[in-house]
């Protein structure tokens, strides 16, 4: 799983549980995708988006340590047809990290319908097929090796028999396409992004429930039952190195030492921690996105994130047994790029 069901707090309400973040080049500009609410949650899952929640896409511009642009979406209660009204606000400068700021409304409409907003921004939100693919049996084997600093044991899994554990599941997707001529984002610059869900508190403030930057960081390096994982999930990326930099370095060092895949396990572990933290997804605006072992530059709906992250953690090429072509029906070349589900 990329981030599915990886937080005890988010599991309290599936509508606030993040699954994935994607950033890539679209038809008119830069596409930001935020997926939540996996049907893998089961019959206790709740439909739609939380009407008392916020869904935020945080953008760090030109190497800034904090977000300088935030796209914030809010939804109303679901109607009899299963649709919800939504608003999209843009917050800039200091307001981008201020829960009390309101920003400027740049789009409004309803779920499951394409929405046109200010300056050519396009928005779509609704139920869609989950584009993420992984065999959880492989993840279990790799997690055991990483957690225990042990040799890999794939005796219970074979690449040629790999199956997508999320086949046939759905998520609720938020898609925002920002055109190249947008005055807030612009072009020809480097950005880093992360996503967060928040819930209104009884005291009138907001509580962060879930966050994600890179895919697969939580299931591999931040086990649900680890103390520091909860702290990281409710915090800000600028605290990542302090909270779990050393833990990730040690986990990686232990597993590569046990499997003999690094001459200097400690140095390699530190290098991986430095690459992953702060937990922000980098992207050069206007370029072809690719999330691969040799470098991160956004992430497309087709990218094999588990294969990349497994290879990075183990310092050896690791196949997932699955390919993007197998799941082409979960994505589209045209806006909104995800495939709506009934």
The model's pLDDT over 77-88, given as tens digits with 9 standing for 90+, comes to 999 999 999 999
Q: Is residue 338 part of a domain?
A: no
| Residue 251: band (very low, low, confident or very high) from pLDDT cuts 50, 70, 90 | very high
**Residue positions counted in the chain:** 342
Residue with tokens 């086949």: 167
* Segment holding 282, helix H or strand E: strand 281-284
Residue 3 in any domain: the answer is: no
CA–CA separation, 248 and 240 (whole Å): 10
pLDDT tens across 126-148, in order? 999 999 999 999 999 999 999 99
Token couple for 249 = 């370095």
Range of the domain at 55: 10-330
Of the chain, the percentage scoring pLDDT greater than 70 comes to: 97
User: How many domains in the chain?
Assistant: 1
Closest-CA residue to 266 (of 257, 274, 275): 257
Q: What is the mean pLDDT of residues 116-121?
A: 97
> 50 in a domain, yes or no?
yes
108's enclosing H/E stretch is strand 104-110
Determine the pLDDT at residue 327: 97
2 within a domain of the structure (yes/no): no
| Residue 342 belongs to a domain | no
Query: Per the domain annotation, does 234 fall within a domain?
Result: yes
Residue 337 falls within a domain, yes or no? Answer: no
Nearest to 173 by CA among 60, 280, 55: 55
How many other β-carbons are positioned within 10 Å of the β-carbon of residue 113?
12
Distance separating alpha carbons of residues 142 and 318, to the nearest angstrom:
10
CA distance 24 to 44: 33
The rounded mean pLDDT for the chain is 94
Q: What share of the chain is helix, strand, coil (3-state, %, to 5)?
A: 30, 30, 45
Task: Answer yes or no: is pLDDT of 2 > 70.
Answer: no
Rounded to two decimals, the pTM is: 0.96
pLDDT digits (tens, 9 = 90+) for 299-334: 999 999 999 999 999 999 999 999 999 999 999 999
CA 54/CA 296 separation, integer angstroms: 27
**CB distance 326 to 162 below 8 Å:** no
Does 89 score more than 70 pLDDT?
Answer: yes
Q: Is the peptide bond before 250 cis (omega within 30 degrees of 0)?
A: no
What local confidence, expressed as pLDDT, does residue 11 receive? 80
The continuous run of DSSP H or E covering 253 comes out as helix 240-259
Q: How far apart (Å, rounded) are the C-alpha atoms in residues 281 and 269? A: 19
Is 92 inside any structural domain?
A: yes
Report which of 292, 297, 245, 298 is spatially closest to residue 273, judged by C-alpha positions.
245
Q: How far apart are CA 106 and CA 211, in angstroms?
A: 23
Q: How far apart are alpha carbons 149 and 251 in whole angstroms? A: 7
pLDDT tier, 229 (very low <50, low <70, confident <90, very high otherwise): low
Pairwise CA distance, residues 247 & 255, whole Å: 13
């Amino acid at each position: 799983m990329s981030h599915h069901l990886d937080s005890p707090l988010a599991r309290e309400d599936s509508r606030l549980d993040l699954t994935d973040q994607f950033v890539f080049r679209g038809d008119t500009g830069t596409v930001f995708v935020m997926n939540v609410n996996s049907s893998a949650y089961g019959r206790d899952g709740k439909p739609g988006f939380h009407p008392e929640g916020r869904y935020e896409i945080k953008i760090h511009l030109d190497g800034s340590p904090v977000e300088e642009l935030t796209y914030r979406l809010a939804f109303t209660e679901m109607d009899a047809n299963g649709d919800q009204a939504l608003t999209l606000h843009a917050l800039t400068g200091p307001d981008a990290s201020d829960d009390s700021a309101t920003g400027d409304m740049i789009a409004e409409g309803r779920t499951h319908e394409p929405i046109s907003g200010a300056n050519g921004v396009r928005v779509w939100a609704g139920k869609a097929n989950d584009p993420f693919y992984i065999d959880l049996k492989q993840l279990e084997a790799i997690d055991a090796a990483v957690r225990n600093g042990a040799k890999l044991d794939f005796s219970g899994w074979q690449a040629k028999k790999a199956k997508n554990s999320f086949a046939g599941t759905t998520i609720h997707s938020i898609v925002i396409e920002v055109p190249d001529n947008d005055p807030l984002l612009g072009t020809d610059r480097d950005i880093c992004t992360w996503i967060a869900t928040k819930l209104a508190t009884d005291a009138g403030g907001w509580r962060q429930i879930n966050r994600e930057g890179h895919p697969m960081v939580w299931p591999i390096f931040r086990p649900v039952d680890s103390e520091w994982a909860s702290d990281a999930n409710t915090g800000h990326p600028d605290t990542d190195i302090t909270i779990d930099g050393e833990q990730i370095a040690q986990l990686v060092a232990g597993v590569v030492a046990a499997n003999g895949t690094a001459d200097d396990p400690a140095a390699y572990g530190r290098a991986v921690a430095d690459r992953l933290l702060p937990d922000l997804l980098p992207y050069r605006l206007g370029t072809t996105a690719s999330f691969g072992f040799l470098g991160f530059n956004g992430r497309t709906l087709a990218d094999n994130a588990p294969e990349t992250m497994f290879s990075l953690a183990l310092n050896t090429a690791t196949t997932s047994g699955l390919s993007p072509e197998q799941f082409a029906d979960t994505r589209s070349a045209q806006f909104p790029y995800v495939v709506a589900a009934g």
